[in-house]
Amino acid sequence: MKNLLIIPIALMFFGCSGMHLKANDPWTNEQKILQGTSLALRVADWGTTLDIADKPDKYREVNPILGDHPSKGRVNTFFASSIILNYLIADNLPGKYRNKWLWFNVAVSAICVGNNYGIGLRMKF
């Protein structure tokens, strides 16, 4: 679980070190909508993954970072970290790459949520 926190913590220190990775491209309305959609889907995936954690005898997680039967704490740490990290990455990418990154995140999250709902999982917070 501690390993999941290394990347977001390291990214926070970039601001302290004088390195400026930010592309300084303003967010377009489309990018803001994509970010909001990605966030909503990631939260839905978070909730359904917590349902997996509640039912280790019935379901297994396919995300190799989480492992087959993650604890709720591991699930919470992973999704909180991934939400922060995905935003930081998007915010620091130039506009044309930001769009691709956001569309990729929406697509992956939509597939995960669709699969989870399709097998009977529901959001459990």
Give the per-residue pLDDT at 9: 54
Looking at the domain assignment, is residue 114 inside a domain? Answer: yes
> Is residue 103 exposed (0-12), middle (13-18) or buried (19+ Cβ within 10 Å)?
middle
Looking at the domain assignment, is residue 67 inside a domain? Answer: yes
Residue 102 has pLDDT above 50, yes or no: yes
Looking at the domain assignment, is residue 41 inside a domain? Answer: yes
Residue 77 has pLDDT above 90, yes or no: yes
Give the per-residue pLDDT at 3: 55
For residue range 26-66, list pLDDT tens digits in order. 999 999 999 999 999 999 999 999 999 999 999 999 999 99
Task: Provide the terminal-to-terminal Cα distance of the chain, rounded to the nearest Å.
Answer: 19
Query: Cα(37)–Cα(39) distance, rounded to whole angstroms?
Result: 5
Give the per-residue pLDDT at 5: 55
Mean pLDDT of 3-26: 58
Residue 12 has pLDDT above 60, yes or no: no
Looking at the domain assignment, is residue 92 inside a domain? Answer: yes
Full residue range of the structural domain in which residue 56 is found: 25-118
Looking at the domain assignment, is residue 78 inside a domain? Answer: yes
Looking at the domain assignment, is residue 36 inside a domain? Answer: yes
Give the per-residue pLDDT at 80: 98
Looking at the domain assignment, is residue 34 inside a domain? Answer: yes
What type of residue is 38?
S
Mean pLDDT of 96-109: 97
Mean pLDDT of 3-18: 52
Give the per-residue pLDDT at 17: 47
Query: Cα(99)–Cα(104) distance, rounded to whole angstroms?
Result: 8
Residue 92 has pLDDT above 70, yes or no: yes
Give the per-residue pLDDT at 24: 80
Looking at the domain assignment, is residue 4 inside a domain? Answer: no
Domain total in the chain = 1
Query: Cα(53)–Cα(56) distance, rounded to whole angstroms?
Result: 6
